[in-house]
Structure 1
Amino acid sequence: MNQSKRIRPEAMIFDMDGTLFQTETVLLPAYHKLFDTLRSEGLYTSPTPPQERLLGSLGMLLEDIWKVVMPDGSPQAHARANELLLQLELEGLAGGETQLYPEVKETLEELHRRGVKLFVASNGLEHYISGIVETHGLAALFDGLYSAGKHGTLSKVDLVKLLLDENGVKSAWMVGDRSSDVEAGKKNGLCAVGCAYAGFGHDEELKGADVLISSFAELLKLYEEADSE
Protein backbone atom coordinates (compact mmCIF):
# COMPACT_ATOMS: atom_id res chain seq x y z
CA MET A 1 0.00 0.00 0.00
CA ASN A 2 1.29 3.48 -0.78
CA GLN A 3 2.58 5.29 2.28
CA SER A 4 0.14 8.12 1.64
CA LYS A 5 -2.70 5.62 1.85
CA ARG A 6 -1.61 3.94 5.08
CA ILE A 7 -4.16 5.85 7.12
CA ARG A 8 -6.55 3.90 9.31
CA PRO A 9 -10.01 4.48 7.77
CA GLU A 10 -13.23 5.38 9.53
CA ALA A 11 -15.11 3.04 7.20
CA MET A 12 -14.66 0.03 4.93
CA ILE A 13 -16.83 -0.60 1.89
CA PHE A 14 -17.14 -4.14 0.60
CA ASP A 15 -18.21 -5.69 -2.63
CA MET A 16 -20.32 -8.80 -2.00
CA ASP A 17 -19.77 -11.49 -4.68
CA GLY A 18 -16.22 -12.80 -4.69
CA THR A 19 -15.30 -10.65 -1.69
CA LEU A 20 -17.50 -11.61 1.26
CA PHE A 21 -19.66 -14.29 -0.30
CA GLN A 22 -18.67 -17.47 -2.16
CA THR A 23 -21.04 -16.69 -4.98
CA GLU A 24 -20.77 -20.02 -6.75
CA THR A 25 -22.35 -21.81 -3.79
CA VAL A 26 -25.72 -20.28 -4.69
CA LEU A 27 -25.20 -19.00 -8.22
CA LEU A 28 -24.30 -22.13 -10.16
CA PRO A 29 -27.24 -24.29 -9.06
CA ALA A 30 -29.55 -21.32 -9.77
CA TYR A 31 -27.93 -20.74 -13.16
CA HIS A 32 -28.67 -24.23 -14.46
CA LYS A 33 -32.23 -24.23 -13.10
CA LEU A 34 -32.76 -20.82 -14.71
CA PHE A 35 -31.98 -22.07 -18.21
CA ASP A 36 -34.05 -25.21 -17.73
CA THR A 37 -36.97 -22.93 -16.89
CA LEU A 38 -36.35 -20.56 -19.81
CA ARG A 39 -36.41 -23.51 -22.20
CA SER A 40 -39.54 -24.99 -20.61
CA GLU A 41 -41.26 -21.60 -21.04
CA GLY A 42 -40.16 -21.34 -24.67
CA LEU A 43 -38.07 -18.23 -24.08
CA TYR A 44 -34.71 -19.81 -24.95
CA THR A 45 -34.02 -22.78 -27.19
CA SER A 46 -30.23 -23.12 -27.15
CA PRO A 47 -28.16 -25.23 -24.73
CA THR A 48 -27.19 -23.63 -21.42
CA PRO A 49 -24.23 -21.30 -22.05
CA PRO A 50 -20.94 -22.23 -20.33
CA GLN A 51 -21.10 -21.21 -16.67
CA GLU A 52 -17.65 -19.64 -17.06
CA ARG A 53 -19.32 -16.81 -18.96
CA LEU A 54 -21.40 -16.01 -15.92
CA LEU A 55 -18.54 -16.28 -13.44
CA GLY A 56 -16.41 -14.05 -15.66
CA SER A 57 -19.17 -11.43 -15.73
CA LEU A 58 -19.62 -11.06 -11.97
CA GLY A 59 -19.29 -7.45 -10.92
CA MET A 60 -21.19 -6.14 -13.94
CA LEU A 61 -24.69 -4.74 -13.76
CA LEU A 62 -27.22 -7.54 -14.21
CA GLU A 63 -28.55 -6.16 -17.50
CA ASP A 64 -25.02 -6.28 -18.91
CA ILE A 65 -24.37 -9.79 -17.61
CA TRP A 66 -27.11 -11.30 -19.78
CA LYS A 67 -25.73 -9.56 -22.86
CA VAL A 68 -22.50 -11.47 -22.25
CA VAL A 69 -23.99 -14.78 -21.09
CA MET A 70 -26.72 -15.14 -23.73
CA PRO A 71 -26.19 -12.54 -26.46
CA ASP A 72 -28.63 -14.53 -28.61
CA GLY A 73 -31.40 -14.16 -26.03
CA SER A 74 -34.39 -11.87 -26.57
CA PRO A 75 -35.17 -8.90 -24.31
CA GLN A 76 -38.00 -11.01 -22.91
CA ALA A 77 -35.57 -13.83 -22.07
CA HIS A 78 -33.22 -11.38 -20.39
CA ALA A 79 -36.04 -9.87 -18.32
CA ARG A 80 -37.30 -13.29 -17.28
CA ALA A 81 -33.74 -14.35 -16.40
CA ASN A 82 -33.52 -11.39 -14.00
CA GLU A 83 -36.68 -12.56 -12.23
CA LEU A 84 -35.66 -16.19 -12.12
CA LEU A 85 -32.14 -15.57 -10.91
CA LEU A 86 -33.29 -13.62 -7.87
CA GLN A 87 -36.02 -16.15 -7.09
CA LEU A 88 -33.69 -19.13 -7.37
CA GLU A 89 -30.87 -17.47 -5.45
CA LEU A 90 -33.19 -16.60 -2.57
CA GLU A 91 -34.41 -20.20 -2.55
CA GLY A 92 -30.79 -21.34 -2.45
CA LEU A 93 -30.00 -19.02 0.45
CA ALA A 94 -33.02 -20.34 2.34
CA GLY A 95 -31.71 -23.85 1.77
CA GLY A 96 -28.71 -23.17 3.98
CA GLU A 97 -26.01 -24.49 1.66
CA THR A 98 -24.24 -21.20 0.91
CA GLN A 99 -20.93 -20.00 2.32
CA LEU A 100 -18.97 -16.87 3.11
CA TYR A 101 -15.23 -16.90 2.51
CA PRO A 102 -13.14 -18.15 5.46
CA GLU A 103 -12.93 -15.76 8.42
CA VAL A 104 -15.22 -13.15 6.86
CA LYS A 105 -17.65 -13.03 9.76
CA GLU A 106 -14.93 -13.08 12.42
CA THR A 107 -12.97 -10.31 10.70
CA LEU A 108 -16.04 -8.13 10.22
CA GLU A 109 -17.00 -8.64 13.86
CA GLU A 110 -13.56 -7.51 15.01
CA LEU A 111 -13.54 -4.45 12.74
CA HIS A 112 -17.01 -3.56 13.99
CA ARG A 113 -15.84 -3.97 17.59
CA ARG A 114 -13.03 -1.51 16.88
CA GLY A 115 -15.48 1.09 15.67
CA VAL A 116 -15.00 0.81 11.91
CA LYS A 117 -18.16 1.63 9.95
CA LEU A 118 -18.92 -1.22 7.56
CA PHE A 119 -20.85 -0.98 4.29
CA VAL A 120 -21.68 -3.12 1.28
CA ALA A 121 -21.62 -1.62 -2.23
CA SER A 122 -22.68 -4.14 -4.85
CA ASN A 123 -23.94 -4.12 -8.42
CA GLY A 124 -26.34 -6.91 -7.41
CA LEU A 125 -30.07 -6.83 -6.66
CA GLU A 126 -31.31 -5.42 -3.36
CA HIS A 127 -33.05 -8.55 -2.04
CA TYR A 128 -30.14 -10.76 -3.05
CA ILE A 129 -27.67 -8.64 -1.04
CA SER A 130 -29.93 -8.34 1.99
CA GLY A 131 -30.69 -12.07 1.74
CA ILE A 132 -27.01 -12.98 2.03
CA VAL A 133 -26.52 -10.61 4.96
CA GLU A 134 -29.55 -11.96 6.83
CA THR A 135 -28.81 -15.62 6.09
CA HIS A 136 -25.27 -15.39 7.41
CA GLY A 137 -26.04 -13.28 10.48
CA LEU A 138 -24.20 -10.14 9.38
CA ALA A 139 -27.01 -7.56 9.58
CA ALA A 140 -25.97 -6.06 12.93
CA LEU A 141 -22.45 -5.41 11.65
CA PHE A 142 -23.27 -3.14 8.70
CA ASP A 143 -24.11 0.55 8.73
CA GLY A 144 -25.63 0.34 5.26
CA LEU A 145 -26.25 -1.96 2.29
CA TYR A 146 -25.97 -0.23 -1.08
CA SER A 147 -26.92 -2.01 -4.29
CA ALA A 148 -27.33 -0.90 -7.86
CA GLY A 149 -30.67 -2.72 -7.84
CA LYS A 150 -32.00 -0.48 -5.07
CA HIS A 151 -30.37 2.84 -5.92
CA GLY A 152 -30.48 2.65 -9.72
CA THR A 153 -26.87 3.72 -10.18
CA LEU A 154 -25.17 3.11 -13.53
CA SER A 155 -21.72 2.28 -12.16
CA LYS A 156 -19.97 1.20 -8.95
CA VAL A 157 -18.24 4.61 -8.96
CA ASP A 158 -21.62 6.35 -8.67
CA LEU A 159 -22.86 3.90 -6.05
CA VAL A 160 -19.84 4.43 -3.80
CA LYS A 161 -20.05 8.21 -4.21
CA LEU A 162 -23.69 8.07 -3.12
CA LEU A 163 -22.75 5.96 -0.10
CA LEU A 164 -19.99 8.37 0.93
CA ASP A 165 -22.20 11.42 0.53
CA GLU A 166 -25.22 10.00 2.35
CA ASN A 167 -23.17 8.84 5.32
CA GLY A 168 -20.70 11.70 5.55
CA VAL A 169 -17.76 9.31 5.27
CA LYS A 170 -14.44 11.13 4.86
CA SER A 171 -11.99 8.23 4.83
CA ALA A 172 -12.60 4.65 3.68
CA TRP A 173 -11.08 1.61 2.06
CA MET A 174 -12.87 0.03 -0.90
CA VAL A 175 -12.50 -3.75 -0.74
CA GLY A 176 -13.38 -5.93 -3.73
CA ASP A 177 -12.29 -8.45 -6.31
CA ARG A 178 -13.10 -6.77 -9.63
CA SER A 179 -11.83 -3.88 -11.72
CA SER A 180 -15.08 -2.04 -11.03
CA ASP A 181 -14.22 -2.08 -7.31
CA VAL A 182 -10.73 -0.73 -7.90
CA GLU A 183 -12.15 1.97 -10.17
CA ALA A 184 -14.83 2.87 -7.61
CA GLY A 185 -12.19 3.26 -4.95
CA LYS A 186 -9.68 5.26 -6.97
CA LYS A 187 -12.21 7.63 -8.57
CA ASN A 188 -13.65 8.42 -5.14
CA GLY A 189 -10.24 9.06 -3.61
CA LEU A 190 -10.22 5.89 -1.50
CA CYS A 191 -7.62 3.23 -0.86
CA ALA A 192 -8.46 0.22 -3.05
CA VAL A 193 -7.88 -3.20 -1.50
CA GLY A 194 -7.99 -5.98 -4.08
CA CYS A 195 -9.20 -9.46 -3.07
CA ALA A 196 -7.17 -11.97 -5.04
CA TYR A 197 -8.67 -15.15 -3.59
CA ALA A 198 -11.93 -15.60 -5.54
CA GLY A 199 -10.44 -16.24 -8.96
CA PHE A 200 -13.48 -15.17 -11.01
CA GLY A 201 -11.70 -12.47 -12.99
CA HIS A 202 -8.56 -12.22 -15.08
CA ASP A 203 -5.13 -11.24 -13.76
CA GLU A 204 -5.65 -7.68 -14.94
CA GLU A 205 -8.83 -7.26 -12.88
CA LEU A 206 -7.04 -5.84 -9.85
CA LYS A 207 -4.44 -3.77 -11.66
CA GLY A 208 -4.16 -0.41 -9.91
CA ALA A 209 -5.21 -1.63 -6.48
CA ASP A 210 -3.17 -0.15 -3.63
CA VAL A 211 -2.73 -3.54 -2.01
CA LEU A 212 -3.76 -7.15 -2.70
CA ILE A 213 -4.87 -9.66 -0.10
CA SER A 214 -4.92 -13.43 -0.56
CA SER A 215 -7.29 -14.09 2.34
CA PHE A 216 -9.97 -11.94 3.95
CA ALA A 217 -8.34 -12.14 7.38
CA GLU A 218 -5.36 -10.16 6.05
CA LEU A 219 -7.59 -7.09 6.11
CA LEU A 220 -7.40 -6.89 9.90
CA LYS A 221 -3.60 -6.97 9.77
CA LEU A 222 -3.59 -4.12 7.23
CA TYR A 223 -5.87 -2.13 9.51
CA GLU A 224 -3.66 -2.71 12.53
CA GLU A 225 -0.53 -1.67 10.62
CA ALA A 226 -2.09 1.53 9.22
CA ASP A 227 -1.36 4.88 10.84
CA SER A 228 -4.11 6.23 13.08
CA GLU A 229 -3.60 9.65 11.50
Structure 2
Amino acid sequence: MIFDLDGTLFQTETLLLPAYHATFEQLRAEGLYEGETPPEQAILSCLGMLLEHIWQNVMPESDVQAHRRADELLLKFQEEGLARGEGQLYDGVAEALRKLREQGVRLFIASNGLEAYVKGVIRLKGLEPLFEPDGLYSAGEHQTRSKVDLVRMLLDKHGISSAWMVGDRSSDVEAGHANGLFVVGCDYAGFRKAGELDQADVRIASFEQLVELLP
Protein backbone atom coordinates (compact mmCIF):
# COMPACT_ATOMS: atom_id res chain seq x y z
CA MET A 1 0.00 0.00 0.00
CA ILE A 2 1.19 3.46 -0.94
CA PHE A 3 -0.08 6.27 1.26
CA ASP A 4 -0.37 9.97 0.81
CA LEU A 5 0.61 11.77 4.04
CA ASP A 6 -1.33 15.02 4.52
CA GLY A 7 -5.06 14.48 4.91
CA THR A 8 -4.59 10.71 4.84
CA LEU A 9 -2.37 9.72 7.79
CA PHE A 10 -1.63 13.11 9.31
CA GLN A 11 -4.04 15.85 10.41
CA THR A 12 -2.00 18.46 8.63
CA GLU A 13 -3.79 21.51 9.98
CA THR A 14 -2.77 20.67 13.56
CA LEU A 15 0.85 21.40 12.62
CA LEU A 16 0.49 23.52 9.51
CA LEU A 17 -1.65 26.42 10.66
CA PRO A 18 0.58 27.69 13.51
CA ALA A 19 3.57 27.40 11.14
CA TYR A 20 1.62 29.16 8.39
CA HIS A 21 0.94 32.21 10.55
CA ALA A 22 4.54 32.28 11.80
CA THR A 23 5.77 32.13 8.20
CA PHE A 24 3.85 35.23 7.18
CA GLU A 25 4.95 37.11 10.28
CA GLN A 26 8.56 36.42 9.30
CA LEU A 27 7.97 37.25 5.62
CA ARG A 28 6.60 40.64 6.67
CA ALA A 29 9.56 41.18 9.01
CA GLU A 30 11.94 40.49 6.10
CA GLY A 31 10.07 42.79 3.74
CA LEU A 32 9.01 39.96 1.45
CA TYR A 33 5.28 40.31 2.05
CA GLU A 34 2.90 43.14 2.87
CA GLY A 35 -0.64 43.06 4.17
CA GLU A 36 -2.68 40.57 6.13
CA THR A 37 -1.95 36.85 6.18
CA PRO A 38 -4.13 35.13 3.55
CA PRO A 39 -7.05 33.15 5.01
CA GLU A 40 -6.22 29.71 6.38
CA GLN A 41 -8.55 28.16 3.82
CA ALA A 42 -6.22 29.45 1.09
CA ILE A 43 -3.51 26.98 2.07
CA LEU A 44 -5.79 24.21 3.34
CA SER A 45 -7.49 24.03 -0.06
CA CYS A 46 -4.06 23.56 -1.70
CA LEU A 47 -2.91 20.60 0.38
CA GLY A 48 -1.67 17.81 -1.85
CA MET A 49 -0.20 20.21 -4.42
CA LEU A 50 3.49 20.78 -5.04
CA LEU A 51 4.79 23.65 -2.89
CA GLU A 52 5.49 25.92 -5.84
CA HIS A 53 1.85 25.62 -6.88
CA ILE A 54 0.65 26.21 -3.31
CA TRP A 55 2.41 29.58 -3.05
CA GLN A 56 1.26 30.58 -6.54
CA ASN A 57 -2.28 30.16 -5.23
CA VAL A 58 -1.79 31.56 -1.72
CA MET A 59 0.23 34.66 -2.65
CA PRO A 60 0.13 35.03 -6.44
CA GLU A 61 1.29 38.64 -6.33
CA SER A 62 4.61 37.72 -4.67
CA ASP A 63 7.77 36.84 -6.60
CA VAL A 64 9.72 33.58 -6.75
CA GLN A 65 12.16 34.80 -4.06
CA ALA A 66 9.29 35.21 -1.59
CA HIS A 67 7.85 31.82 -2.56
CA ARG A 68 11.15 30.02 -1.98
CA ARG A 69 11.67 31.82 1.33
CA ALA A 70 8.16 30.76 2.33
CA ASP A 71 9.19 27.15 1.59
CA GLU A 72 12.14 27.47 3.96
CA LEU A 73 10.20 29.18 6.73
CA LEU A 74 7.19 26.87 6.62
CA LEU A 75 9.46 23.82 6.85
CA LYS A 76 11.46 25.38 9.68
CA PHE A 77 8.39 26.21 11.76
CA GLN A 78 6.80 22.82 11.10
CA GLU A 79 9.99 21.00 12.14
CA GLU A 80 10.12 23.06 15.32
CA GLY A 81 6.47 22.23 16.00
CA LEU A 82 7.07 18.52 15.45
CA ALA A 83 10.01 18.64 17.85
CA ARG A 84 7.66 20.12 20.47
CA GLY A 85 5.22 17.26 19.91
CA GLU A 86 2.69 19.24 17.87
CA GLY A 87 0.63 17.68 15.09
CA GLN A 88 -1.74 14.72 15.27
CA LEU A 89 -2.31 11.54 13.31
CA TYR A 90 -5.89 10.69 12.41
CA ASP A 91 -7.62 8.37 14.85
CA GLY A 92 -6.62 4.75 14.45
CA VAL A 93 -3.76 5.34 12.00
CA ALA A 94 -0.92 3.80 14.02
CA GLU A 95 -2.93 0.74 15.03
CA ALA A 96 -4.28 0.12 11.52
CA LEU A 97 -0.79 0.41 10.01
CA ARG A 98 0.49 -2.13 12.54
CA LYS A 99 -2.33 -4.53 11.61
CA LEU A 100 -1.51 -4.16 7.93
CA ARG A 101 2.14 -4.94 8.57
CA GLU A 102 1.17 -7.96 10.67
CA GLN A 103 -0.78 -9.22 7.67
CA GLY A 104 2.29 -8.90 5.47
CA VAL A 105 1.39 -5.71 3.62
CA ARG A 106 4.40 -3.62 2.56
CA LEU A 107 3.86 0.07 3.40
CA PHE A 108 5.14 3.13 1.51
CA ILE A 109 4.62 6.90 1.43
CA ALA A 110 4.25 9.02 -1.72
CA SER A 111 3.83 12.71 -0.86
CA ASN A 112 4.17 15.97 -2.76
CA GLY A 113 5.78 17.51 0.35
CA LEU A 114 9.39 18.32 1.16
CA GLU A 115 11.71 15.47 2.15
CA ALA A 116 12.51 16.74 5.67
CA TYR A 117 8.83 17.31 6.44
CA VAL A 118 7.64 13.92 5.20
CA LYS A 119 10.38 11.95 6.92
CA GLY A 120 10.13 14.11 10.04
CA VAL A 121 6.41 13.45 10.51
CA ILE A 122 6.80 9.70 10.05
CA ARG A 123 9.82 9.51 12.36
CA LEU A 124 8.58 11.77 15.14
CA LYS A 125 5.15 10.15 15.21
CA GLY A 126 6.79 6.75 15.73
CA LEU A 127 5.69 5.23 12.41
CA GLU A 128 9.07 4.76 10.75
CA PRO A 129 9.52 1.08 11.73
CA LEU A 130 6.23 0.21 10.03
CA PHE A 131 7.32 1.39 6.58
CA GLU A 132 9.67 -0.31 4.14
CA PRO A 133 13.34 0.71 4.28
CA ASP A 134 13.77 3.61 1.83
CA GLY A 135 9.99 3.58 1.45
CA LEU A 136 9.27 7.28 2.13
CA TYR A 137 9.01 9.05 -1.22
CA SER A 138 8.56 12.80 -1.55
CA ALA A 139 8.47 15.18 -4.48
CA GLY A 140 10.93 17.34 -2.56
CA GLU A 141 13.55 14.60 -2.52
CA HIS A 142 13.03 13.18 -6.00
CA GLN A 143 12.11 16.44 -7.79
CA THR A 144 9.16 14.86 -9.58
CA ARG A 145 6.70 17.09 -11.39
CA SER A 146 3.61 15.07 -10.50
CA LYS A 147 2.50 12.35 -8.12
CA VAL A 148 1.99 10.08 -11.14
CA ASP A 149 5.75 10.23 -11.74
CA LEU A 150 6.58 9.81 -8.05
CA VAL A 151 4.45 6.68 -7.67
CA ARG A 152 5.85 5.23 -10.91
CA MET A 153 9.39 5.76 -9.59
CA LEU A 154 8.48 4.04 -6.32
CA LEU A 155 6.95 1.05 -8.08
CA ASP A 156 9.91 0.67 -10.43
CA LYS A 157 12.58 0.97 -7.73
CA HIS A 158 10.92 -1.60 -5.47
CA GLY A 159 9.82 -4.00 -8.19
CA ILE A 160 6.14 -3.70 -7.28
CA SER A 161 3.54 -4.94 -9.75
CA SER A 162 0.42 -4.83 -7.57
CA ALA A 163 -0.48 -2.18 -4.98
CA TRP A 164 -3.17 0.04 -3.53
CA MET A 165 -2.91 3.84 -3.60
CA VAL A 166 -4.51 5.44 -0.53
CA GLY A 167 -5.12 9.20 -0.44
CA ASP A 168 -7.54 12.08 -0.12
CA ARG A 169 -7.00 14.22 -3.24
CA SER A 170 -7.56 13.93 -6.97
CA SER A 171 -3.78 13.77 -7.43
CA ASP A 172 -3.80 10.49 -5.47
CA VAL A 173 -6.60 9.07 -7.59
CA GLU A 174 -4.78 10.11 -10.76
CA ALA A 175 -1.45 8.71 -9.55
CA GLY A 176 -3.03 5.40 -8.66
CA HIS A 177 -5.03 4.84 -11.81
CA ALA A 178 -2.28 6.10 -14.14
CA ASN A 179 -0.07 3.40 -12.65
CA GLY A 180 -2.70 0.64 -12.75
CA LEU A 181 -3.36 0.59 -9.00
CA PHE A 182 -6.50 0.08 -6.91
CA VAL A 183 -7.38 3.45 -5.37
CA VAL A 184 -8.81 4.00 -1.89
CA GLY A 185 -10.19 7.51 -1.38
CA CYS A 186 -9.96 8.88 2.17
CA ASP A 187 -13.16 10.83 2.68
CA TYR A 188 -12.55 12.35 6.12
CA ALA A 189 -10.06 15.22 5.87
CA GLY A 190 -12.28 17.84 4.25
CA PHE A 191 -9.53 19.63 2.27
CA ARG A 192 -10.65 18.47 -1.16
CA LYS A 193 -13.03 20.05 -3.62
CA ALA A 194 -16.33 18.38 -4.48
CA GLY A 195 -15.92 15.42 -6.79
CA GLU A 196 -12.19 14.85 -6.26
CA LEU A 197 -12.71 11.29 -5.05
CA ASP A 198 -15.49 10.34 -7.48
CA GLN A 199 -13.15 8.13 -9.50
CA ALA A 200 -11.68 6.25 -6.52
CA ASP A 201 -12.39 2.52 -6.54
CA VAL A 202 -13.69 2.72 -2.97
CA ARG A 203 -14.01 5.42 -0.32
CA ILE A 204 -13.51 5.14 3.42
CA ALA A 205 -14.95 7.43 6.09
CA SER A 206 -12.28 6.55 8.70
CA PHE A 207 -8.78 5.15 8.43
CA GLU A 208 -9.63 2.01 10.40
CA GLN A 209 -11.93 0.90 7.57
CA LEU A 210 -8.85 0.25 5.43
CA VAL A 211 -8.02 -2.95 7.29
CA GLU A 212 -11.58 -4.24 6.71
CA LEU A 213 -11.14 -3.90 2.95
CA LEU A 214 -8.41 -6.51 2.75
CA PRO A 215 -9.55 -9.83 1.25
TM-score, with structure 2 as normaliser:
0.98
1:156 pairs, out of 137, 147, 159, with: 147
User: What is the deviation of 1:101?
Assistant: 0.2
Name the counterpart of 1:5: none
Query: What letter corresponds to residue 21 of structure 2 in structure 1?
Result: H
Q: Does 1:65 align with 2:54?
A: yes
User: What is the deviation of 1:113?
Assistant: 1.0
Q: Equivalent pairs: percent with the same residue?
A: 62
Name the counterpart of 1:52: 41
Query: What letter corresponds to residue 99 of structure 2 in structure 1?
Result: E
Name the counterpart of 1:23: 12
Other structure's SS at 1:205 match: coil
1:202 pairs, out of 193, 210, 215, with: 193
Q: Does 1:142 align with 2:131?
A: yes
Query: What CA RMSD, in Å, does the superposition of the two structures yield over aligned residues?
Result: 0.6
Give the whole-Å Cα distance in 1 for the aligned partners of 2:193 and 2:34: 30
Give the whole-Å Cα distance in 1 for the aligned partners of 2:198 and 2:42: 21
Give the whole-Å Cα distance in 2 for the aligned partners of 1:75 and 1:183: 28
Instruction: Spell out, residue by residue over 1:48-78, the C-alpha distance to the aligned partner (whole angstroms, 9 max, x if none).
Output: 0111010000010001100000001111110
Give the whole-Å Cα distance in 1 for the aligned partners of 2:193 and 2:48: 12
Name the counterpart of 2:81: 92
Q: Does 1:35 align with 2:24?
A: yes
TM-score, with structure 1 as normaliser:
0.92
Instruction: Spell out, residue by residue over 1:145-174, the C-alpha distance to the aligned partner (whole angstroms, 9 max, x if none).
Output: 000000010000000000000001111000
1:216 pairs, out of 195, 207, 210, with: 207
Give the whole-Å Cα distance in 2 for the aligned partners of 1:168 and 1:108: 22
User: What is the deviation of 1:114?
Assistant: 1.1
User: What is the deviation of 1:115?
Assistant: 0.8
Name the counterpart of 1:116: 105
The runs of at least 4 aligned residues of structure 1 exceeding 6 Å deviation read none
Q: Does 1:172 align with 2:163?
A: yes
Give the whole-Å Cα distance in 1 for the aligned partners of 2:194 and 2:9: 19
Give the whole-Å Cα distance in 2 for the aligned partners of 1:20 and 1:119: 12
The count of aligned residue pairs is: 213
Q: Runs of 5+ in structure 1 lacking a partner?
A: 1-11
Give the whole-Å Cα distance in 1 for the aligned partners of 2:10 and 2:32: 30
Other structure's SS at 2:11 match: coil
User: What is the deviation of 1:120?
Assistant: 0.2
Give the whole-Å Cα distance in 2 for the aligned partners of 1:130 and 1:46: 33
Give the whole-Å Cα distance in 1 for the aligned partners of 2:195 and 2:17: 24
Other structure's SS at 1:203 match: coil
User: What is the deviation of 1:97?
Assistant: 2.2
Query: What letter corresponds to residue 83 of structure 2 in structure 1?
Result: A
Instruction: Spell out, residue by residue over 1:154-198, the C-alpha distance to the aligned partner (whole angstroms, 9 max, x if none).
Output: 000000000000001111000000000000000000001000000
Give the whole-Å Cα distance in 1 for the aligned partners of 2:42 and 2:203: 24
Give the whole-Å Cα distance in 2 for the aligned partners of 1:147 and 1:75: 21
